[in-house]
Structure 1
């Protein structure tokens, strides 16, 4: 076929494929616009429901690119390109990526659960996943904790949701649990009165809840008392440390013995 024949075929090719190409372009641009519109609508809906921004952006991006992929396949199909093999290749690639990222996907699913169900939030002091600290960031794949001594711990989200989560920040009030041991020769009534005086002297201890002062154990070397006052969560450690120190100082002043573990050893001579 010479050049003249090729030129003569141009109108036929244009009439055969021109409309298909135009329709494919229309499908692509309209589909792209719809993908943006739908993703923006979903993003706005999640913002009204106070969904975390990180999760919102991630979901809207996934929706946008999924719709765009279907649009591209539809446009190529309109031109006459066989898309069945392309879909099969994409499916196989998606399966391979899913298997390779199985651990990451489980962390992602756990991150979505944390953000949606909110067992903890940024700023909470928690114990979870074998770590304890204040949450500085909840990401899609991991949660970042700051320890009281200012260390950063990055915990995979699946480790957090896979076990117990102890959240120390959800309640406004907490109970301080102290164990105070005294010698067997101490006056139990006096010890209780001294502990009650120390509790009454600390203004941070809540008076609308009863403070428990009771003998909890007759141990090997001591009589153990439990001292359990209620405080505001923000005052917990301050009261814990100050009350421990106050008990020691006051007991020393009154001569109340705080025993330490000891053992009596009896040595006998052989033959006796």
Structure 2
């Protein structure tokens, strides 16, 4: 009799556990689907509102993580586990893990700082954390960059903010800085005319601010001119390379020399022996 009652009790408990387990799995599956759906809806809403892509990605990741945490707690609660005690245990464990993962927490805090102060945005070409590239995505802990040679580099947010950040895309215009060396025997007015002609003939050069063309320094072997036109940021590298090439072409046509480093050697005769300086 006692055995039959024990079997019946186990059957009832087993059936109840199976039902609760199936319900918990259903809660997890449906909750995960709803979390993804809500994540997509919120992301689309922020995009329609014109929110910065950096904020969309960062906020979306945090929202999804919080939703999944709530879904997991609901599924565990369906199994009959006391979630209040579980939360306390998770809190204590979280404190211990937090102390062990201080670097990750620092990266998370740095990610929040990036979202708040926006030293760079998605699509900006930056140099920071020892890497230069285009910002593809800002995640909770990392910033993803795409380098000019198509490499994907993941830099911790803490490393990005601990170093100087150079944002080449923050302004719509940039100044092209060229240094051109010519021989000391070349006519200054001719060189100036040629350089001004190269700059004036390039339609991508902006008139405001005006280009600056001057003698920058007198080097050991050359007279060094600075050529500094302003262009739209998107045209920077094309203007830099093509203008350098065009200057060389026109110098060749005008007979203007681009000297290479050289040294004059003077020979003196003393008592029938040659001495050099």
TM superposition score normalised by structure 2? 0.70
Supply the distance in 2 between the matched residues of 1:60 and 1:162 (Cα, whole angstroms). 26
Supply the distance in 1 between the matched residues of 2:252 and 2:150 (Cα, whole angstroms). 35
- Is residue 133 from structure 1 mapped to residue 133 from structure 2 by the alignment? yes
Q: Tell me the CA shift for residue 263 of structure 1.
A: 2.3
Tell whether the 8 Å contact from 2:128 to 2:164 is kept in structure 1 after alignment.
yes
SS in structure 2 at match of 1:127? strand
For residues 111-141 of structure 1, what are the alpha-carbon distances to aligned partners after superposition, in whole Å with 9 as ceiling and x for unaligned? 1221232211111111111111111121111
Structure 1 unmatched runs, 5+:
4-35
Q: Tell me the CA shift for residue 259 of structure 1.
A: 0.6
Q: Tell me the CA shift for residue 165 of structure 1.
A: 1.3
Tell whether the 8 Å contact from 2:204 to 2:232 is kept in structure 1 after alignment.
yes
Q: Tell me the CA shift for residue 221 of structure 1.
A: 0.7
Q: How does 1:23-38 map to 2 (within 5 A)?
A: none
Tell whether the 8 Å contact from 2:61 to 2:139 is kept in structure 1 after alignment.
no
SS in structure 2 at match of 1:207? coil
Number of aligned residues: 232
Q: Tell me the CA shift for residue 193 of structure 1.
A: 1.1
Q: Quickly say closer, same or farther: Cα 1:200–1:142, change in 2 above 3 A.
A: same
SS in structure 2 at match of 1:256? coil
Q: Tell me the CA shift for residue 189 of structure 1.
A: 1.5
Q: Tell me the CA shift for residue 68 of structure 1.
A: 9.1
Q: Tell me the CA shift for residue 108 of structure 1.
A: 1.3
Tell whether the 8 Å contact from 2:57 to 2:137 is kept in structure 1 after alignment.
no
- Is residue 254 from structure 1 mapped to residue 254 from structure 2 by the alignment? yes
2:58 matched to which residue of 1?
Answer: 55
Q: Quickly say closer, same or farther: Cα 1:49–1:237, change in 2 above 3 A.
A: closer
Supply the distance in 1 between the matched residues of 2:90 and 2:144 (Cα, whole angstroms). 34
Q: Tell me the CA shift for residue 55 of structure 1.
A: 2.8
2:98 matched to which residue of 1?
Answer: 98
- Is residue 185 from structure 1 mapped to residue 185 from structure 2 by the alignment? yes
- Is residue 113 from structure 1 mapped to residue 116 from structure 2 by the alignment? no
Q: Quickly say closer, same or farther: Cα 1:166–1:266, change in 2 above 3 A.
A: same
Tell whether the 8 Å contact from 2:58 to 2:138 is kept in structure 1 after alignment.
no
Q: Tell me the CA shift for residue 269 of structure 1.
A: 8.9
Tell whether the 8 Å contact from 2:126 to 2:133 is kept in structure 1 after alignment.
yes
SS in structure 2 at match of 1:144? strand
1:237 matched to which residue of 2?
Answer: 237
1:9 matched to which residue of 2?
Answer: none
Structure 2 unmatched runs, 5+:
3-33
Structure 1 runs (4+) deviating above 2 angstroms are 46-69, 86-92, 263-272
1:31 matched to which residue of 2?
Answer: none
